[in-house]
Amino acid sequence: MKEGEAEEKEEEPDEPEPEVGPSLLTPLSQDAEMFNTPPWSSKISSTLTSQHAVAVLRSNLWPGAYAYACGKKFENMYIGWGLKYAGEGYSPPVPPPPQKEYPSGSGDH
């Protein structure tokens, strides 16, 4: 084996490390806050008929992730792009206003 071949094998591209989340059935109170925002937002479908109301949790970390429950029945669903919330998106600066036209008829020709 030549010296150059050994160096090539050591220089394999670094693979990204997979994200490791909390274990299953971890309490929501242990989820980390991000960008001074709580990790979950909660709502109830109706305050008039609470015995038939549906409780809804929305993830603020993964927009589009929802969990809902009514009594002992519950379900999770995700409708989104698979992108984590990263704060406010980039908004390019507003371009400067257009310049005024050069006045015609002034000056010597």
In a domain, 7, yes or no: no
What is the reported pTM? 0.54
pLDDT < 70 regions, the chain: 1-13, 105-109
In a domain, 25, yes or no: no
pLDDT for the residue numbered 56 = 94
DSSP 105: T
Structure tokens at 65: 């992730």
In percent, the amount of the chain with pLDDT more than 90 equals 22
In a domain, 19, yes or no: no
Q: How far apart are CA 57 and CA 76, in angstroms?
A: 9
Alpha helix (H) ranges present in the chain? 3-10
What is the domain extent for residue 72?
A: 32-82
In a domain, 53, yes or no: yes
pLDDT for the residue numbered 92 = 84
Q: How far apart are CA 62 and CA 48, in angstroms?
A: 30
pLDDT for the residue numbered 109 = 54
In a domain, 70, yes or no: yes
In a domain, 88, yes or no: no
In a domain, 4, yes or no: no
Count the domains in the chain.
Answer: 1
In a domain, 76, yes or no: yes
